[in-house]
Structure 1
């Protein structure tokens, strides 16, 4: 069975977005291509257990095993040596991507403390959206006793949209809770 958001995209969002943007070719309508989750673990240089814990947490969150990221160059100020594992990342596509996006929008973001919506301006100019979470405990898959140490992560949603406005509209149709736009006061 296809994920809920995938069915929503193909049954309603695709046709509505195509009409809204004036795109007749179905393959030209913006869609989500992949979601990348990245976690930098600075404490991994002192103790490898933190990196293993982060990889376990990311496996629970994403549903697939992450790849360890390795430092490309040495930086003396950070006591970092080239070739040392300092984080992990995972790229989600197809079913897992839609399932993760569904959990992110409907379960995780509402659990963030003092949540007022995600930024409307965190686009890169090419229709890709990036956001950060300061704590991984907002994911219900993670139990507080094993994953007690707070760790943040970056989430990048890559779309096929050519502009930020198209990508914002696509994510709005999926239900991404953007903050209300700021209204300029006139004197």
Structure 2
């Protein structure tokens, strides 16, 4: 399902208003917002076979609504992995504005429910910058993916980058979007 410009702008303003009330901001501009979403996939098999990298690039492009990913290179050499500095070992894609909202909408409503025995995502996966990180082990959960392009152990890292460094505010932002966090376990005595 494609979201319209009106829907995501309306939802964004609604969430920012709710955040402003809860965290006592004097302006909507003080409330956190999604700056970008980064999809990053390292392909260790690319060292021996470039076709794996090309397949992953096509998949990431499909997941990212047609936007072309950028290849990433190794920053240092690791002899035991037969890896040399500058070798292409993965790809990444940055989604902004409407594409980021579209991806997040699809992730929450269509992709994450495809995971077997899914019990929610950890609520403690915020880094010191207030960004949320999650790893997907199987790219087949995305409905956009072409099964012919997938291979074993193919996953990606998803980073949701916020304008605020407050993990508490960013978590509440995701909760307002119905992000599927794990339910906290209560201790019974």
Residue in structure 1 matched with residue 129 of structure 2 by the alignment = 126
For the 8 Å contact 1:37–1:154, the answer to whether it is kept is: yes
Asked whether 1:9 is paired with 2:12, we answer: yes
CA-atom RMSD in angstroms: 1.5
Asked whether 1:101 is paired with 2:104, we answer: yes
Asked whether 1:60 is paired with 2:59, we answer: no
Task: Name structure 2 gaps, 5 residues minimum.
Answer: none
The SS at the match of 1:69 is: strand
Distance 1:19 1:83 in 2: 48
Residue in structure 1 matched with residue 156 of structure 2 by the alignment = 153
Distance 2:42 2:176 in 1: 31
Residue in structure 1 matched with residue 84 of structure 2 by the alignment = 81
CA drift at 1:77: 1.3
Distance 1:92 1:38 in 2: 11
Aligned residues: 185
CA drift at 1:149: 4.1
Asked whether 1:72 is paired with 2:75, we answer: yes
Distance 1:127 1:16 in 2: 19
Distance 1:133 1:3 in 2: 30
For the 8 Å contact 2:59–2:146, the answer to whether it is kept is: no
Residue in structure 2 matched with residue 34 of structure 1 by the alignment = 36
Correspondence list, 1:136-175, <5 A: 136-175=139-178
* Regions of 4+ moved over 4 Å: none
Distance 2:104 2:46 in 1: 28
The SS at the match of 1:145 is: helix
Aligned with 1:21 (options 23, 28, 31): 23
CA drift at 1:86: 0.1
Distance 2:112 2:128 in 1: 24
